[in-house]
Amino acid sequence: MATTLKQLEAFVAIARTGSFSAAARVVHVSQPALTSVIKNLEQQLGVELFERTTRGVTLTTAGRELLPTVDRLLTELNETLASLLSGTAPRGGTVTVACIPSAGSLFLPPLIASFTQAHPSVRVNLRDAMTENREIVRMVRSGDIDCGVASPMPDAGELQFRHLYDDELVAVLPLQHAHARQKAITWKELASLPLVGMASNSYLRLLIDQTFAAIGISKRPATEVSLVTTAVGMARAGIGAAVLPLRAARACDLADVRTVSLVGPTVRRPIGFLYRSVSELSPAAKAFVQYVLDGAKPLRT
């Protein structure tokens, strides 16, 4: 029996939400029906795709290998169908985008400049005062913006995510610190230092806490801040080491501090477009999203 589109959509929905019940709401079927769809898919492939525990659902090794390909194929199919139905050539209009600060300062400006030169009738409004992913997710959900450029949130599985690039986490230390003279520092070594933590509800903090937990360490920051620029300033003053995405750090004044690679493990923050669905994007927004995706291709190779 051939694998069906319904099976692939169900697989992606569960992977994104981490829950059969939440995924059932996303794909508009009952939970028993969704369970049956996935069971049939696993039987056809001859592998288990999910591990079911009392705490939720996680991908198996086979599931993690399959997800990027299926996600890309479904996204491309949906975008192709939407393009055929409504067309993607922008005649004019406004595209409103919210983004995390590092994307707003380094990544997006040259692409916006070249896009508006190619499409002078389209105006791009950039909302860049976004210190947290959650606010961008809220604005996408509410329709306040066309799309966001941020990281995918675990509790926003109903939104589409198109990967642009990865931002590797590094330690930011004052120049006089002993570890600043190293090429790399391990997470276990980092745990012995006072840390400047990001806000507890931020995606970056979640990523850092998960990394420490994965190596069996519970680490409480010496202090917490919300802005990347503040974290760099606190590190410069010797209050603690800051853990930041490299691109975000490079958008700051790095005088008297040094970025040091973090290893054991190497951790990367995925950055990409977040939007509700291709069918809800205007022709101008679709054209902008595709233009930026094409411009980001060198960063993904």
Mean pLDDT of 155-160: 85
What pLDDT does residue 301 have? 57
What pLDDT does residue 299 have? 77
- Please tell me whether residues 154 and 281 are part of one structural domain: yes
Cα separation, 76 vs 85, in Å, equals 14
- Please tell me whether residues 10 and 67 are part of one structural domain: yes
128 pLDDT band (50/70/90 cuts)? confident
What pLDDT does residue 54 have? 72
Residue closest to 63 by CA, chosen among 12, 5, 3 = 12
What pLDDT does residue 79 have? 66
Q: Which domain holds residue 182?
A: 166-268
- Please tell me whether residues 176 and 142 are part of one structural domain: no
Does 165 have pLDDT greater than 70? yes
Q: What's 104's domain CATH number?
A: 3.40.190.10
pLDDT above 70 covers a percentage of the chain that reads 94
Which 3 state secondary structure label does DSSP give 159? Answer: coil
Q: How many CB atoms lie within 10 A of CB 136?
A: 28
What pLDDT does residue 89 have? 54
- Please tell me whether residues 224 and 277 are part of one structural domain: no
Residue by residue, what is the 3-state secondary structure of 128-158? CCCCCHHHHHHHHHHCCCCEEEECCCCCCCC
- Please tell me whether residues 154 and 20 are part of one structural domain: no
Question: pLDDT for 240-265, tens place per residue?
Answer: 999 999 999 998 999 999 999 999 99
- Please tell me whether residues 49 and 176 are part of one structural domain: no
Residues 6+ apart with CB under 8 A from 106: 247, 250, 251
Mean pLDDT of 30-48: 89
Question: pLDDT for 63-104, tens place per residue?
Answer: 888 998 888 888 777 766 665 545 555 667 899 999 988 888
Does 132 have pLDDT greater than 80? no
- Please tell me whether residues 97 and 173 are part of one structural domain: no
Total domains in the chain come to 3
Residues 6+ apart with CB under 8 A from 181: none
Mean pLDDT of 141-147: 93
Q: What's 249's domain CATH number?
A: 3.40.190.290
- Please tell me whether residues 102 and 133 are part of one structural domain: yes
- Please tell me whether residues 21 and 76 are part of one structural domain: yes
Does 147 have pLDDT greater than 80? yes
Give 261: exposed, middle or buried? Use CB within 10 Å, 0-12, 13-18, 19+.
middle
